[in-house]
Structure 1
Amino acid sequence: MQRTKAYDSLGCTNLLESLVEKTNDFLYGLWCNKHINQKQYEKLKVSKEQAELAHLYFLPKAHKPNTPLRPIMAGMKSPTINISKWLDNLLRPIFDRLAIDTTVLNGVELLKEIERWSANNLTMTTSFVTMDVTDLYTMIPQEGGVTAIKRLIEASGQKQIDGVKKEIILALTRFVMTNNYFYFDGIYYKQIRGGAMGSPLTLTIANAYMYFVERPIAKWASRTASLYFRYIDDLFIMSNIHADVLKGLVRFWNRLDINIELSESIGTSAEYLDVKLENRGGQLVSDVFHKPSHEPYFLPFSSIHAEHIKKNIPFVAITRAMRYCSSYEAFKHEEIHICMALLLNKYPMDFILKQIERVFQTFQCEIPTKGNFSNIRKIFLGITHNKTKRTEIDIEVTILCHFSFCKGMQDFSTQFHQMWNTCFTDTAICGMKPILGSKRLHNLQDYLVKKKPDRSRLGLENK
């Protein structure tokens, strides 16, 4: 907290009440002046009874030397959270469209682009460059983040979004950025630099800020026929430019913005996202990357979680291995690693083999062998499962029923619907539709680990 100088101590003063009033007064003024409509005002205003101040906790980065900590701002009930979510929904699609050529969403998407580029450009001297931005979320100047959103909207050519003028969106963005208050270890703080890691809008602001910082890098990559992509604060380059020149370029890029510090790795191999890459004498080799802190741990088979969750674990792992591994030998090695980890977590061998078989049945292809591996892998890379749009819930005809899932309840959902139809077919509620959901049982961790401070520290006292 002291190194980034992003936080200002407020001592023992809880400013939640004044922040709630300030937020509601600000929104009320926008509504009165017809800058936002009634529906938007009702959606964004703060409930004094439900509001809580955010609290800070840290997650250790076990895979990095000296185990640095990642600050997480838990503010799901903070006064500005509704504004943050709403702005993020408005602005993220604009960024996604604008940066579609220089951003990747996952390792599969990256690997497709790498293999496409390598088909015509890979040589024995091709280098990989990976760069990481140090403390991105807390190093962005708050006004610089607002300016990045302004440039983002201007680049999109839109003067209004969802009926709200650009100037109002910027005012709301500035309000969220400059009103991050939180509690930590007996002291209240205000964030005076960057955005709260945990606030939805912060990711879009960071992406927008980096988009304009990276423009010279992206243009250089285009001019030199190099490949460039970014995933939030991680940058990736494949280039045939000499490694010594690349080192000089990274030093130059480090001077593009005083707030952005890049730490780089340049060589004939790279680990980026969860993909391991190597230029082996002019041949691209890829594999699944496991961080040094990786442990052979999955959800134990003895867990009371529903069986479909346990089935999906080997399914997803084998699917990823098929996509990432460029050779049959690498795939079989990763498959053994997956099976061993599952066995250590008490998964029966016949269960594991059945799920592996289900993978290839789902993709409608043969079991891979050394002879057909390349062709089958193309099938896996060619098929992407798009997320289906969530079905809108009509609260007029829907009843949400939550239950604690415990052992022996694998068929409970089916039985519940059968009993529902039997009991209520000829009743007044026959048109109602029950939707079942499961909730997690309390476990030992809930009692031994408590990240959230007492409500009295975060909320308003009842008067």
Structure 2
Amino acid sequence: MGIPWKSWEFHGNPGNPMEIPAIPWKSRQSRKSEIRRFPLVKQQQYKIIQEAKRTWLNINVDAHEKKYQEYEHQYQQDLKQFEFISSTHIDTNDTTLFNCFLLYIGHRIHRLKQEIYYEKLPVYRRKFVRLRRRLKPTKKNLVTIAPIIILDLIRHPFTVAELAYLSRGPTYIRPNQSALRPSGQREKQVDKKMNDIINKVKNYMANVYDGRSKIPTTVPMYKFYSERLRTYLLCRYMIPLPLMDQLRARRELKLDKSIRRKLKNYKLVLRETDKSGVLHIGHARDYERKAMEYREKTGAHEELTSNPLDEIFYQVIQLLNKLRSANKISVPQKLKMMPIRNKIELAYMYFLHKSHKKGTPLRPIINTIHAATTQISKHLDELIRPLFDRYARHTTIVDGVDLLSRLHKYIQNGYFNSSTLFVAFDITNLYTILPQEESLVILAEFLHVHHCDIIQGISIDTILDLGRIVPQANAFVYGKKFCRQIIGSAMGSVFTLTLANIFMWKWERQAILSKLPAHEFYGRYIDDIFFTCNESETKVKKWLESANQFHPNIKLTYTIAKSVPFLDVLVCNQNGILFSSVYHKPAAELSLLSFLSDHPRHVFRNVIQTALMRAIRYSSTFEALNIERRSIRLTLLLNE
């Protein structure tokens, strides 16, 4: 991949990159002094204008489509009338006048297509290019509708080409990266790829599937296959690139290096935004200030004086050995959860910018993929999540399709009417406020209630011992500091998700379900909750205010209406009839995978197919489907 967006630590408003003047060539100190805060008001103005232009474009496209449909309908009517009139006129060759007309129309349509493609489109393109050239002096006043990088700066050191490159989004991959490496590196890459494929094939063939016999890993066939595979990979990796592809690869590599250098020199931070789907650049000092404000506000982290990795490693080893000595876990289970010293490292913390919120606050993410407790976390998740999915399925919403399916069942049971209200709310900072010890107590209660005293030979007490070390040993690196999370758990640990779900299982039973009539529909997706209600809005508000005070850590924000969004679907009660459509969050940009990215071709097909299938499943009317189809088309056009 070109740039590992989430891992950049160089020392970040929606704004048009072309609108903000680049820093002229001066001394480093004078250039640094010119980087100032970009006014928040101007960001908001830009966003409003951008959304207005997108809305206006959709209105125009809709008007043209309706006009086209009118012409098509009129043509079909006239064609049927002509067919009826000409049905009695037959020439000497038994060919109807209607067939002759269709033949003529076919030739005429083909000629018009050729004329448009080869004559009119080039003329239109030249006119468009001339118009763009005339507008170039005033280009800084234009607002583009395409997704662009968010610059939290009034001035920046980046060129137009670099900003266009960054505007392709966090999923963009530079093409032909391996082709620019020395031949020795490419050969090592080929050997690594070949060994990976061969090992996977050997492991698969050495196991029995569907009654077939095993193939030993030592048979000579693998050597022959390895040689053939290496020859093929060398051919693919060593083949010279066409000139245009080589020029593009070198140009984008140069852009990549230039962006990295400028981020480092100007002490800027590049991050993916939380929900917008674009990148964000801001100043490192602003980033650090917001991170410090978050830590002081939540009090969830404490700073350590030394590296705690060895201490955590020995704590995990000691716990596993103790449990094994007491026969509370088996040898395979111990080996599965045992960390490997030369492969573990401290988790690291980074923040994502919430560019859609005032002041651009930060969302903390702790990457625990190589932490000492990761294997314990994964094993506990494998044990407990299937149980939660089974016993809490009736109150769990999987996705938008599941929500609509269960709403239709609610309608079929006769509970849905014109006065039915939809209620949606979410829990603020669930992972951060999750009480560690209380969550484990609720986990034990959940297992007791569902008679799961022993899970794959592991008792509840042992599960609690293992579960306790996951949040307690959650130490991480942030910048040059060692920290430990003392409240909540890491958003990035798989066990945290299961623990949060079980904590909410207890809360929802006491705070919501105890008041809600049994026939009403209720569902939750992690920290997002949805339910129906036929009571008055005032009474529902009292329920929610009471739920807001039920637990000191749980604070919620809610919406009560006959039309509410939930996840990615919008549901509406229009006089007792359910309407649904795809919902796009206001913060989300029209951003998809860039068509220029070096992803496998099937990925692009999957992106389009997924978007269309979602539109079909969510849209209750043909009009809603058409609106989403136009949105998909516009999004694809903007992500070139």
TM-score when scaled to structure 2? 0.52
Change (3 A) 1:163 1:106: same
2:326 to 33, 41, 44: 33
2:513 to 206, 215, 218: 218
Asked whether the 8 Å contact 2:515–2:543 carries over to 1, the reply is no
Distance 1:93 1:61 in 2: 33
Question: How do 1:438-453 and structure 2 match up within 5 A?
Answer: none
Question: How do 1:28-67 and structure 2 match up within 5 A?
Answer: 28-67=321-360
Q: Match for 2:393: what amino acid?
A: I
Partner of 2:502: 208
Partner of 2:616: 322
Question: How do 1:57-456 and structure 2 match up within 5 A?
Answer: 57-119=350-412, 120-216=414-510, 217-223=512-518, 225-346=519-640
Aligned length: 344
Distance 1:118 1:57 in 2: 45
Change (3 A) 1:312 1:54: same
Structure 1 residue 66: Cα displacement: 3.8
Distance 1:234 1:81 in 2: 26
Q: Deviations over 1:105-143 (max 9, x none)?
A: 111000111122134222222211111111111112110
Question: 5+ unaligned residues in a row in structure 2: which ranges?
Answer: 1-294
Q: Match for 2:386: what amino acid?
A: P
Distance 2:471 2:588 in 1: 35
Q: Match for 2:554: what amino acid?
A: I
Asked whether the 8 Å contact 1:227–1:238 carries over to 2, the reply is yes
Structure 1 residue 246: Cα displacement: 0.6
State the secondary structure of the residue aligned to 1:2.
Answer: helix
Moved more, 267-276 or 255-264: 255-264
Q: Match for 2:352: what amino acid?
A: L
Over aligned residue pairs, what C-alpha RMSD do you find?
1.4
Partner of 2:116: none
Asked whether the 8 Å contact 2:569–2:582 carries over to 1, the reply is yes
Distance 2:354 2:456 in 1: 39
Distance 1:287 1:36 in 2: 49
State the secondary structure of the residue aligned to 2:378.
Answer: helix
Q: Match for 2:313: what amino acid?
A: V
State the secondary structure of the residue aligned to 1:121.
Answer: coil
Asked whether the 8 Å contact 1:63–1:291 carries over to 2, the reply is no
TM-score when scaled to structure 1? 0.72
Partner of 2:249: none
Change (3 A) 1:314 1:127: same
Asked whether the 8 Å contact 1:94–1:152 carries over to 2, the reply is no
Asked whether the 8 Å contact 2:423–2:530 carries over to 1, the reply is yes
Structure 1 residue 281: Cα displacement: 2.4
State the secondary structure of the residue aligned to 1:35.
Answer: coil
Q: Deviations over 1:171-225 (max 9, x none)?
A: 11111121110111221111111111101100000000000000031243344x3
Partner of 1:390: none
Distance 2:339 2:477 in 1: 19
Distance 1:122 1:51 in 2: 54
State the secondary structure of the residue aligned to 1:248.
Answer: helix
Distance 2:524 2:371 in 1: 30
Partner of 2:268: none
Distance 1:111 1:221 in 2: 20
Distance 2:419 2:341 in 1: 62
State the secondary structure of the residue aligned to 1:296.
Answer: coil
Structure 1 residue 35: Cα displacement: 1.2
Distance 1:343 1:301 in 2: 9
Q: Deviations over 1:52-83 (max 9, x none)?
A: 00011112233444433221110111110000
Distance 2:324 2:352 in 1: 39
State the secondary structure of the residue aligned to 1:67.
Answer: coil
Structure 1 residue 320: Cα displacement: 0.3
Distance 1:237 1:164 in 2: 36
Q: Deviations over 1:138-188 (max 9, x none)?
A: 112110111121012112202211111111111111111211101112211
The structure where helix makes up a greater share of residues is 2
Distance 1:3 1:118 in 2: 44
Structure 1 runs of 4+ aligned residues shifted over 6 Å read: none
Moved more, 242-251 or 39-48: 39-48
Asked whether the 8 Å contact 1:102–1:218 carries over to 2, the reply is no
Distance 1:325 1:61 in 2: 29
Q: Match for 2:304: what amino acid?
A: L
Distance 1:198 1:174 in 2: 17
State the secondary structure of the residue aligned to 1:203.
Answer: helix
Partner of 1:423: none
Distance 1:206 1:149 in 2: 10
Distance 1:64 1:112 in 2: 32
Q: Match for 1:152: what amino acid?
A: F
Distance 1:55 1:337 in 2: 38
Q: Match for 2:382: what amino acid?
A: N
Asked whether the 8 Å contact 1:136–1:206 carries over to 2, the reply is yes
Aligned-pair identity (%): 37
Q: Deviations over 1:289-345 (max 9, x none)?
A: 001122222212222211111111111111000111110001011111111211223
Partner of 1:9: 303
Question: 5+ unaligned residues in a row in structure 1: which ranges?
Answer: 347-463
Asked whether the 8 Å contact 1:221–1:227 carries over to 2, the reply is no
Q: Match for 2:466: what amino acid?
A: L
Distance 1:192 1:329 in 2: 51
